[in-house]
Amino acid sequence: MHAPLDPKPVILTGDRTTGPLHLGHYVGSLRNRLVLQSTHRQFLLLADLQALTDNAHDPDKVRRNVLEVALDYLAVGIEPTKTSICVQSALPALAELTMLYMNFVSVARLERNPTIKDEIRARGFGRDIPAGFLCYPVAQAADITGFKATIVPVGEDQAPLIEQTNEIVRRVNHQAGRAVLVEAEALIPKVGRLPGIDGKGKMSKSQGNALLLSASPDEIKRAVHLMYTDPNHLRVSDPGTVEGHVVFTYLDAFDEDEQAVADLKAQYRRGGLGDKVVKARLEALLQDLLAPIRERRAALARDPDSVLDVLRDGTAKARAITRATLEEVREGLGIFRLS
Ligand code: TRP
């Protein structure tokens, strides 16, 4: 008898549908997803319910951006034949898993989650944290485990969420007395998180420091022009600092010619290299990177039905898998079965 073929390991990641994706998403996880879709069984979740946890007052935005993020996925090269793109709110099994997992997490543990702590501070919730927001890590655990994903390609800010997911996995398995769920591993890119063009913290649309994947040539030009450099580098001949210099940080993330970038950095440090030259190099690179993405996106946007078909198909596959997991968890936890 032949040994059964190793099934491909499962990958699940997602994005909140709060706005179109930007270069930070590209470096943070899209690039990994593009590579991995050939070797893994990949699911991408349009996390509209998670987006609602801090956007309950603006459901229109969340709904509209389901299609926008889907367009971004397809435009960068996510292939529906390799990756299933699915809509979170169309997967009720995930909500039910969340409900069950909620009993395996304490409020204190949720409040200690570093990602949540940062986000609560950034959003100025004070004591008025929506319960849904505080609990979204539990829902994210449901997303990940619902697909039995073992690899989660995300930015480094998401690592505490994967850790919390694995705690839930262990507790549920302990309660069930067997390995119903599998632990997952965060796959974090080496390049670290991409700063915004102003150099202040991470790239974020709400901070106004983002460069969208759908940016026009003029927007790209303008963004590079505005990038934070070394404020003490006044004359071309002055020695400069490359640390914190956004243009160099972006070259590190996008320029494949590492030697050329190292040479430019050395020259900048010594003095004798103007920001104009470095910016021109980066702009050319970003124009080349984004032009085909923008064109594909525009073509797809003219045919929204074909995109919806992709979502229907991906969501149907996701529904089958998440339902099966829910059944196993219900069984494992001994939930009443009304037959
Ligand atoms: N929290 C992720 C973000 O803000 C989005 C997300 C939702 C996610 N569910 C997920 C990421 C499951 C990875 C796995 O970008």
pLDDT tens per residue across all 339 residues of the chain: 455 556 789 999 999 999 999 999 999 889 999 999 999 999 999 999 999 999 999 999 999 999 999 999 999 999 999 999 999 999 999 999 999 999 999 999 999 999 999 999 989 998 899 999 999 999 999 999 999 999 999 988 899 999 999 999 999 999 999 999 999 999 998 877 899 999 998 898 888 999 999 999 999 999 999 999 999 999 999 999 999 999 999 999 999 999 999 999 999 999 999 999 999 999 999 999 999 999 999 999 999 999 999 999 999 999 999 999 999 999 999 999 998
Summarised one tens digit per residue, pLDDT across range 285-315 is 999 999 999 999 999 999 999 999 999 999 9
Burial class (CB in 10 A: 0-12, 13-18, 19+), 128: exposed
In the reported structure, the alpha carbon of residue 65 is separated from the centroid of ligand 1 by a whole-number distance in angstroms of: 15
For residue 205, the one-letter residue type is K
Q: Give the DSSP H/E element, type plus range, for residue 13.
A: strand 10-16
CA distance 130 to 80: 35
What pLDDT sits at residue 1? Answer: 47
What pLDDT sits at residue 55? Answer: 96
Q: Is residue 36 a contact partner of residue 178, using CB atoms and an 8 Å limit? A: no
What pLDDT sits at residue 273? Answer: 95
308 and 263 inside one domain: no
For residue 323, the one-letter residue type is R
Contacts of 25 by beta carbon, 8 Å cutoff, 6+ apart:
15, 72, 213
Domain CATH number, residue 58: 3.40.50.620
User: Which backbone phi and psi does 18 adopt, to 5 degrees?
Assistant: -110, -10
Domain CATH number, residue 262: 1.10.240.10
In the reported structure, the alpha carbon of residue 231 is separated from the centroid of ligand 1 by a whole-number distance in angstroms of: 36
293 and 311 inside one domain: no
Instruction: Please give the structure tokens belonging to residue 330.
Output: 């219900």
User: Which backbone phi and psi does 44 adopt, to 5 degrees?
Assistant: -115, 130
116 and 231 inside one domain: no
Residue 201 domain-assigned? no
Q: Which atom of ligand 1 is nearest to the CA of 161?
A: 1
309 and 284 inside one domain: no
**Domain ranges, residue 254:** 217-297
In terms of Cα–Cα distance, which of 120, 125, 38 is closest to 83? Answer: 38
Instruction: Please give the structure tokens belonging to residue 300.
Output: 């797809």
CA distance 170 to 261: 45
Summarised one tens digit per residue, pLDDT across range 24-60 is 999 988 999 999 999 999 999 999 999 999 999 999 9
Q: Which atom of ligand 1 is nearest to the CA of 12?
A: 14
Please state, in angstroms and as integers, the Cα–Cα distance from residue 165 to each residue in 60, 143, 161, 288, 320, following that order. Answer: 29, 10, 6, 38, 21
221 and 182 inside one domain: no
308 and 244 inside one domain: no
Residue 212 domain-assigned? no
Instruction: Please give the structure tokens belonging to residue 339.
Output: 């037959």
Number of domains in the chain: 2
188 and 278 inside one domain: no
What pLDDT sits at residue 4? Answer: 54
Summarised one tens digit per residue, pLDDT across range 239-252 is 999 999 999 999 99
56 and 170 inside one domain: yes
Residue 159 domain-assigned? yes
Counts of helices then strands in the chain (DSSP H, E): 15, 5
Q: Which atom of ligand 1 is nearest to the CA of 50?
A: 7
CA distance 280 to 277: 5
317 and 265 inside one domain: no
Q: Would you call 133 helix, strand, or coil by DSSP? A: helix
**Ligand 1 mutation target, pool 21, 49, 154, 188, most atoms within 8 A of CB:** 154
